[in-house]
Each structure stands twice: as structure tokens, then as C-alpha cells.
């Protein structure tokens, strides 16, 4: 039976054939796209307030103030977040369910980016 063959070759998807499996490349792409700051929420006043506090914190830290606002509930659920607003720093959920002050956001960002 060929269904359970152990001698399966993995396909290489890059031009040189040395980059690894498709799964490894997908994981690397997901990691690179998860870097940065994200606010998760529907776009309500609390979500906007969290984005504002986070932007102020980033300015004080001298970091780029680019913040992605994720409103798609499927993507939000993929982070394991069920209560918004939430703050994600470099792929790590650091807060959910409350609006952070500028100082709280600053502390959490420093903790992740140490």
C-alpha cells in the first residue's frame, strides 16, 4: 500500500532547493509579518483610545509609531483574544480587555522589546 509510505520526499519551493520545506517557509513568513505593534478590536472608542496611548508610548520610546489596527474577528480570534481591545507587540499578546494608559503601554512594549 502506497498510502503510508515513509519514503516521501519534501518539495523545495525556492530556486536553489536549500531553503527548507514549505511549512518552514510559511512559519518564517508568519513570524516576519507578526513583528510590529497591533491593536485588535472593532474600531470602537476604546480601541481607538488604546491605539492613541500606544502611539504616545512609542513616541516617548523613540520607536516607529506604525500601528496596525486589526478589525477582522477571525484574525483577532487567531491570537486567542476574546475580549477587545487588545495590544500585540511583536506577535505577543500583552494586554486585552482594557484601555492601557501611555505609561502602561510603554512598560509592556519595553518588556517585550527589552
Catalytic residue, from 14, 16, 19, 47: name it: 47
Judge whether 15 counts as a catalytic residue: no
Query: CA quadruple 39, 40, 44, 46: dihedral positive or negative?
Result: negative
β-partners of residue 38 are: 68, 88
Q: What is the bridge-based pairing of β-strands 92-96 and 86-89?
A: antiparallel
Dist CA 100 CA 43 (whole Å): 16
- Residue 44 among the catalytic residues: yes
Catalytic residue among 15, 16, 19, 44: 44
- How far apart are the C-alpha atoms of 62 and 69, rounded to whole Å? 20
> Active-site residues: which are they?
44, 47
Amino acid at each position: 500500500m502506497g498510502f503510508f509510505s515513509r519514503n516521501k520526499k519534501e518539495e523545495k519551493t525556492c530556486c536553489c532547493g536549500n531553503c527548507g520545506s514549505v511549512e518552514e517557509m510559511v512559519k518564517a513568513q508568519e513570524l516576519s509579518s507578526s513583528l510590529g505593534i497591533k491593536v485588535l478590536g472593532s474600531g470602537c472608542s476604546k480601541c481607538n483610545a488604546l491605539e492613541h496611548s500606544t502611539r504616545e508610548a512609542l513616541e516617548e520610546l523613540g520607536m516607529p509609531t506604525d500601528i496596525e489596527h486589526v478589525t477582522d474577528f477571525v484574525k483577532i480570534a487567531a491570537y486567542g483574544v476574546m475580549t477587545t481591545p487588545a495590544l500585540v507587540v511583536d506577535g505577543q499578546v500583552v494586554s486585552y480587555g482594557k484601555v492601557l494608559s501611555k505609561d502602561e503601554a510603554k512598560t509592556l512594549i519595553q518588556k517585550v522589546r527589552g
